Structure 1
Amino acid sequence: MTPHDRPAARPTSVAVIIPAHNEERLLPACLAAIRVAAEHPGVAGSRVVVVVAADSCGDATSDVARRAGALTVGLDARNAGAARAAAARRALDVLGDDDVWIASTDADSVVPEHWLDFQLSRAAQGWEAVVGTVALDHLALESRRLAVLHQHLYEASRPPGGLTWHHPHVHGANLGLTAGSYTAAGGFPPVRVGEDHALVRSLQRAGRRILRTPDCAVTTSGRLRPRARDGFGDYLARLAAEEAV
């Protein structure tokens, strides 16, 4: 399936951007998974640059990132939008802004090995943005019932019978778009939470070709003590509290 039958060239450069606040424990698994995704045969020939934005870190997050071969940018904002934007700026400074695909994930998340190939393949079909889903790391959850409840609510809008699910979710942990679309939409706004939703809304207003797909989910930690307040982790914490009543 292609948008309006307008296939495009496969991007030749990829910027993987990751905001991080005191993530020395989970960041290694995140970066290891990205390294595997970057080595996928389908990504061969594309230059991949990984940038970790270490935001207000008091631990070894930056050292962990550099040891894994990632570039780092430091800031003291405690602001997810500012961190993602800083990582994107650093990546585009290195790669330029022509023919670059920006892939966003989170430091507590693990991407599948075909993640970058999947996004680049969709770009080659003419999609300007790919909005993906997440799956919880059930081993990190304290309650099996919470996992089941979350999945039920998360997929409430999925149509029956295997029909295509144009899901309503937006996650910075699984988001990709062309650098041109990113720049035209104004990039990630400097908001504490919801920067991913704001960017996608800007893309929609600009009439960009957006694919919402559950076909390449990213695994996220599902922790109930999140780094960012009022985000996905807080939602899970509230759900856990309701489930315990």
Structure 2
Amino acid sequence: MIAAIVPAHNEERLIGPCLQALQSAARHPGLAGEAVAIVVALDRCSDATAAVCRRFGVHVVRVEAGCVGVARAVASEHALSLGARWIGCTDADSRVPADWLWRQVACEAGAFCGVVSVDDWLDYAPSVRQQFLLGERAQDGHPHVHGANMGFSAAAYRDSGGFLPLATGEDVALIDAIQRSGARVARLAAPQVVTSARRHARASHGFSDFLKRLERSIGDAPASSGLAVCATGTKPAGAC
């Protein structure tokens, strides 16, 4: 069995398209009918996110952590309890392509790291988009780690110790741990995941804050920096 996990905090507006895309990926012919479980970790949700999940008939686990690292860990453990051999990881404001799960499994690695694209640049200046495209190297062997587009085998996840309870950087920490365990990490240009450029961040120092820092580095807006943790571990606010 294969699983896809999604952490969500008050995502009633965007999680529908996310789940629709995941269900399409679950039906890809390359998977040859293998069962796919979609697991959403509802983290302190006070809106209708749960109702949207019920309409799609996906697995739901509830978390009261306010921490994306904890949410991903709880969702991953639930997926493992269902018997998942591979877990794809994305975000509630993102949409995966139809071949997303199939290509991840087909890479035959301990983990997969993909790249992201943005289709709703909102009020960001063209210079921000251009700078992002320069940095987001969409080629095999790229250095990026995005929680919106990654995956890992059950064995690699267990051997690495799993997601740490970090408010940010839990994705990078997991991939680093998987590499240290000796498993191969496939860093591929495809499949790409479409994600949001929304300004209101759900996770502190995540992709939304990264884009705002990029904007400040180009213009003259005031900059900020810091560290973000839930329990243990830190990640520089400038990391992405």
Distance apart, 1:81 and its partner CA: 0.6
> What is the identity, as a one-letter code, of the residue corresponding to 1:129?
A
Query: Structure 1 residues 169, 141: CA separation in 2 closer, same or farther (over 3 Å shift)?
Result: farther
Correspondent of 2:169 among 190, 194, 212: 194
Identity %: 43
Gaps of 5+ in 1: 1-12, 159-163
Q: Equivalent residue of 2:197, what SS?
A: coil
> TM-score, length-normalised on structure 2?
0.87
Q: Equivalent residue of 1:225, what SS?
A: coil
Query: Structure 1 residues 148, 82: CA separation in 2 closer, same or farther (over 3 Å shift)?
Result: same
Distance apart, 1:121 and its partner CA: 1.3
1:150-229 map, 5 Å? 150-155=132-137, 165-229=140-204
The residue that corresponds to 1:5 in the other structure is none
Say how many residue pairs are matched.
220
CA distance in 2, matches of 1:15, 1:32: 15
> What is the identity, as a one-letter code, of the residue corresponding to 2:91?
D
Query: Structure 1 residues 189, 104: CA separation in 2 closer, same or farther (over 3 Å shift)?
Result: same
8 Å CA contact 1:224, 1:234 repeated in 2: yes
Correspondent of 2:87 among 99, 102, 121: 102
Distance apart, 1:133 and its partner CA: 0.9
RCO greater where, 1 or 2, for CA within 8 Å and sep 6 or more?
1
Gaps of 5+ in 2: 221-240
Distance apart, 1:239 and its partner CA: 1.4
Q: Which runs of 4+ in 1 moved over 4 A?
A: none
CA distance in 1, matches of 2:179, 2:107: 17
CA distance in 2, matches of 1:36, 1:142: 30
Backbone CA RMSD of aligned residues = 1.5
8 Å CA contact 2:100, 2:191 repeated in 1: yes
Query: Structure 1 residues 84, 39: CA separation in 2 closer, same or farther (over 3 Å shift)?
Result: same
The residue that corresponds to 2:113 in the other structure is 131
> TM-score, length-normalised on structure 1?
0.85
Distance apart, 1:130 and its partner CA: 0.8
